[in-house]
Structure 1
Amino acid sequence: MEHVIGVDLGTSAVKVLLVDRNGNVKGEWTETYPLYQPHSGYSEQNPEDWVEKTIVALRKLLEVSHVSPDSVAGLSFSGQMHGLVLLDKERNVLRNAILWNDTRTTEECREIEEKVGKETLLSIAKNRALEGFTLPKLLWVKKHEPHLYQRAYTFLLPKDYVRFRLTGHIAMEYSDAAGTLLLDVENKTWSQLICDILDIDVQLCPPLVESTAYVGTLLPEIAEETGLPANVKVFAGGADNACGAVGAGILSEGRMMCSIGTSGVVLAYEQTGKKDFAGKVHYFNHAKPDAYYIMGVTLAAGYSFDWWKRTFMEDVPFADIVQRAYESPIGANGLLFAPYLVGERTPYADADIRASFIGIDSSQTKWDFARAVMEGITFSLNESVEMIKASGKTVESVVSIGGGAKSREWLQLQADIFAIPVEKLKNEQGPGLGAAMIAAYGCGWFDSLEQCSDMFKQVELVVEPQKEAVVRYQELFAIYREIYPQTKEITRKLKAFRS
């Protein structure tokens, strides 16, 4: 049987999956690499680490899966978004990559908004200027490292750089390019206007391709190092969230995904690039050609639960906390939690806001607090769900992945708070599976990504919302939404007292 490989280049590790024609994972391997933080707010990685570890992971994958290398027909990529990799004319890396979670570029974000104008930026790039995006990083290098900027010939994003090193082909695909703030998202071209206003040579921007585009085969030396045949077909791939959407089957209207990892993501399919969300949600090109997705982000989703467990219930297993917390009634006996531990992204984009427990009473137990944390995380995600619904979308179901899908109780919380049926997948592999699906489609195994999804995506459980719980949560959510406007100034004043 033939196989394809999905390479998922994450922030802490690269994970590779070997998948057969039926969507069964026949092998996987993970290799970690370091993160460098030379100053407060800085977050960098060495692109050579990505390449080295990807090669090792591919070689190990073949060893542990015991399949013939000749059975591997195609390979594609998923990757962490926004990271800046600068190359010189000889295609050598000029400096460490500046990552998505690097926060040094606040001044550059204000410069973009002032010079380009917020409305113009939203009309073209569809997103606000935030520190995570690529354009502010490019401007930071231009301002603070002009000797390097002057030598820059082009730039790539993380997975595009790894793909270049494996194939020799330089390109960027649309789903990742949409996260640069330089792409005209609707028209799928680099924005000459934004480049001109900010004095950036548009020639720095690499050629653009579809996520499903065939970009070549492995270089002979890479084939030798990995053990893969040199004729493996390589396809461009997509941004991690776009590939996560492919893997979860978010490929048509009415489909939504909720991912609770360290951060939380609510992502919905969008057929057109013409809608105006006023920058309240991210608006990106999909890995599916000529489609889009909208996305809201909770910065401290699973991180809030992990903080609670680590600080107050370190020795209690995750499953036990969730089960006991679920025994607490809706509303946690009058307790609310706003999960703003590290600020918030959607819908507030506020780096200064901080978390709150509201309604603490001496009768409440630690299990009430745990339930409040779970409900607060889900309420924050529901802010994005509600905005997506308000745009006129009909959402028929939500695919839940990540930590929030690991327990029946939390799945029920999501169904009740979102008021939408929630699906749990049998074999959740996230963005790596989406990358493998792109390769499977590219190899001609399926006529469309939707057809591939019908084969690869397997639903284990559908959790229906409970009518009485939905009503109670709607009342509670209205109270939750009062927390941010009434605490933002208080937490801003408290900033002076943070260590």
Structure 2
Amino acid sequence: MTGDSRKTFLGFDFSTQRLKAIVIGEDFSVLHEADVEFDVDLPEFRTAGGVVRGVERGEVIAPPLLWVKALDMVMDRLVVAGVDFSTIEAVSGAGQQHGSVWWSKDAETRLNTLSPDEFLHTQLSTAFVTDSPVWMDSSTTADCKALEDAVGAEELSKITGSRAYERFTGPQIRKMFRTRPRVYQATSRISLVSSFACSLLVGKIAPIDLSDGSGMNLLDIHTLQWDDKCLQACGDESLSTKLGTPVPSATVVGPICSYFVGRYGFKPDCRVVAFTGDNCSALAGLRLRAGWVGLSLGTSDTLLLGLPGPAAPPAGHVLAGPTPDAPYMALLCFANGSLTRQNHRDRLAGHSWDAFNDLLTATVRGNMGYMGIYYDTAEIVPRAPAGRWLLDASGRAAERVAPQFEARALLEGQALARRAHAEDMGFKLDKSSRLIATGGASVNKELLQIFADVFDTPVYVQDQHANAALLGAAIRAAEVWSVASGTPLPGSELNVSPVATPYPDHDKIYPPMLARYRQIIDTIPKLG
């Protein structure tokens, strides 16, 4: 399509280390991309990895003005790339989860009166009362304990979908209320990074969306409203007002603000769709349905599951889903992912993945009964210390094992862990299930074959884009616009390619191994 009939959609990803932007067409093809790397492009903020280490042990923060200035820069880079903003029908975005932004009393007035003749960062320089605690912050252990004591650890998990975690916004708010009461009182509104970023586009304090909001230890995932007990445990009677009323992720929060119309040529009726968290956006980008699994194979491995209803997770998190097709989502993060695989590749096969894969092909599925659990770093699911447990077919500790058996034990053990804990979250396999792999290790066909066999489901990779969170932001904008306008879009069909299919004998091999994995996990030490 050409001329005025062309329709495009804009997505942002305010991640930890950079701000990325993407423009897609009606067929969801990528037309333009731009990014700003915080450490390199904005050195005046003195970040390392996009964050600043605080004076207090475990404190990790980021200045919100960094993100504002990055938006100025990425918009200018889109201009240079030749983006025609007048064709953009809708905008949405993703933000790093668990970060909080603390707005000053006059912030909304400033957002409402932005001049297109000046940069955003010069007009919003006094809009924030403090720097933003982010997901890497671990300084709220005492506040997590206090929250679980006030509500009950199991009850908190049932209500909010998660136990209390240091990075979660509820404990972060409690710490601010407890240690910096003047900052708390001077704050008019508290946003998540996602709703903060949305606010910049819509020209007012945007509501927190339910999906990202359910990762705060404050939202009742059943009623989809703030829970009074959790609010009382983390702040005072004003906290509900400071947070505002959460909205469904598919909400159009308003037209784009006049600043972007005047400065960049957006049309005044361009819709701004509620921004959400990066993991929630990744689920939307992978377009997972109930019964599908998103598998992100990165430094850590993350499982994203669409769920038909809420559940109280024994580990991991349950969130409100970002799309109507997945009303709830489960998120499981395994600390020992690609970095652990790489460490043992180096130990067993030098620095070559080809040599490591040769070890795998020298063994059989089921590994002659050898099973292993390898935690090079403390594990999140289950919460366990670093350690290594390698057993033979009789269940005895195996001291010296040939490299090929260790190689397969490592990967089969990881795949079994992903399936076992997914089932604990309520995930059920059926004939419609599929696993969508993304991330750096998703190019390893031998690894994906093991996941296909263990999960008893075919594995696919997405054809369109490696960054599911960024693509998901633009796709959400497009799909919400499509529903609101009654205009179907050809890109709504998911484009994936099959890369691995279960072997016929998988059902004889892996169910017994899954039971063995659960027995082994029961015997290893656990962290509190």
Name the TM-score class by shorter chain. Answer: 0.7 to 0.9
Whole-angstrom CA distance in 2 between matches of 1:384 and 1:448: 40
Q: Is residue 398–residue 422 contact of structure 1 (8 Å, CA) maintained in 2? A: yes
Where does 1:349-388 land on structure 2 (aligned, <5 Å)?
A: 350=383, 353-359=385-391, 361-362=399-400, 364-365=402-403, 368-388=405-425
Structure-to-structure mapping, 1:62-141, within 5 angstroms = 62-64=79-81, 66-91=82-107, 92-141=127-176
Q: 1:75, 1:439 within 8 Å by CA — same for their partners in 2?
A: yes
Please say if 1:194 is aligned against 2:241. Answer: no
Structure 1 equivalent of residue 505 of structure 2: 468
1:6 is matched with which residue: 8, 11, 15?
11
Question: What SS does the corresponding residue of 1:155 show, helix, strand or coil?
Answer: strand
SS in structure 2 at match of 1:75: strand
Q: CA deviation at 1:174?
A: 0.6
Determine if the alignment matches structure 1 residue 172 to structure 2 residue 189: no
Contact residue 298 and residue 338 of structure 2 kept, 8 A:
yes
Please give the alpha-carbon distance, in whole angstroms, between the structure 2 residues aligned to 1:164 and 1:468.
53
Q: Compared with structure 1, are the counterparts of its residues 279 and 403 closer, same or farther at alpha carbon in structure 2 (3 Å cutoff)?
A: same
Q: Does 1:266 align with 2:278?
A: no
Counterpart residue identity of residue 178, structure 1 = S
Return the match for 2:21 from 6, 16, 26.
16
Name the stretch that deviates more: 29-38 or 433-442. Answer: 29-38
> Which has the larger displacement, 158-167 or 376-385?
376-385
Verify the 8 A CA contact 1:339 1:373 in the aligned structure 2.
yes
Distance 2:59 2:357 in 1: 35
For the residues of structure 2 that align with 1:396 and 1:85, how far apart are their CA atoms?
38
State the AA in 2 paired with 1:397.
R
CA shift, 1:294, in A, is 2.1
Q: Give the 5 Å matches for 1:259-408.
A: 259-273=296-310, 276-289=311-324, 291-308=327-344, 315-316=351-352, 318=353, 321-322=356-357, 324-330=359-365, 336-346=371-381, 348=382, 350=383, 353-359=385-391, 361-362=399-400, 364-365=402-403, 368-388=405-425, 396-408=433-445
Q: Which residue of 1 aligns with 2:118?
A: none
- Kept after mapping to 1: 8 A contact 2:348/2:407: no
Distance 2:482 2:163 in 1: 38
Give distance in 2, aligned partners of 1:326 and 1:150: 62
The reply to whether residue 61 of structure 1 matches residue 60 of structure 2 is no
Instruction: Report the TM-score, using the length of structure 2 for normalisation.
Output: 0.82
TM-aligned CA deviation for residue 110 of structure 1: 1.0
Q: Pick closer, same or farther for the CA change 1:232–1:141 going to 2, 3 Å.
A: same
RMSD of the alignment, in Å?
A: 3.0
Deviations 1:249-308 (A, max 9, x none): 213x322222222222222222334xx435434111111248211222212222322444
Deviation at 1:120, TM superposition (A): 3.3
Pick from 278, 284, 287 the counterpart of residue 246 of structure 1. Answer: 284
1:46 to 50, 63, 68: 63
Distance 1:149 1:339, change over 3 A: farther
Deviations 1:131-187 (A, max 9, x none): 221101111112222221222222111121122123222111111111111112221
Contact 1:115 1:198 in 2 (8 A): no
**Structure 1 residue matching 2:464: 3-state secondary structure:** coil
Is 1:426–2:427 an aligned residue pair? no
For residues 56 and 306 of structure 1, what CA distance do their matches in structure 2 show?
36
Contact 1:249 1:453 (C-alpha < 8 Å) held by counterparts: no
Report the CA distance between 1:452 and its aligned residue: 6.0
In structure 2, give the amino acid aligned to 1:377: Q
Contact 1:246 1:453 in 2 (8 A): no
Give, in whole Å, the separation in 2 of the partners of 1:370 and 1:446: 51
SS at match of 1:280: coil
Within 2, Cα distance between the matches of 1:25 and 1:199?
Answer: 43
| 1:29 aligns to 2:34 (yes or no) | yes
Deviation of 1:19 (Å): 0.6
**Do the aligned partners of 1:24 and 1:456 also contact (CA within 8 Å) in 2?**
no
Distance in 2, matches of 1:337 and 1:403, equals 23
CA–CA distance in 2 between the matches of 1:355 and 1:80?
A: 30
- The offset of 1:407, in angstroms, is 2.2
For 1:368-405, what per-residue CA distance to the aligned partner results, in whole angstroms no more than 9, with x for missing partners?
54444333332321222332456798862222222342
Task: After TM superposition, give the deviation of residue 333 of structure 1 in Å.
Answer: 6.7
- 8 Å contact 2:295–2:302 — kept in the other structure? yes
* Counterpart-to-counterpart distance in 1, 2:484 and 2:443: 31
Q: Given residue 243 of structure 2, which amino acid in structure 1 is its aligned partner?
A: C
Q: Which moved more, 1:335-344 or 1:22-31?
A: 335-344
Instruction: Give, in angstroms, the shift of residue 332 of structure 1.
Output: 5.6
Q: Which amino acid aligns with 1:143?
A: R
Q: What is the correspondence of 1:205-244 to structure 2 with a 5 Å cutoff?
A: 205-222=243-260, 228=266, 231-244=269-282
Larger Rg: 2
Q: Say if 1:53 and 1:228 are closer, same or farther in 2 by CA, change over 3 A.
A: farther
| Cα shift at 1:88 | 2.4
Change (3 A) 1:198 1:140: closer
Q: Which residue of 2 aligns with 1:496?
A: none
Once the two structures are overlaid, the 10-residue window that deviates more, 167-176 or 480-489, is: 480-489
Contact 1:272 1:291 in 2 (8 A): yes
Contact 1:256–1:395 at 8 Å: present in 2 too?
Answer: no
Which whole-Å CA distance do the structure 2 matches of 1:319 and 1:90 have between them? 59
Q: Tell me if the contact between 1:446 and 1:452 (Cα under 8 Å) persists in the aligned partners.
A: no
Aligned to 2:42: none
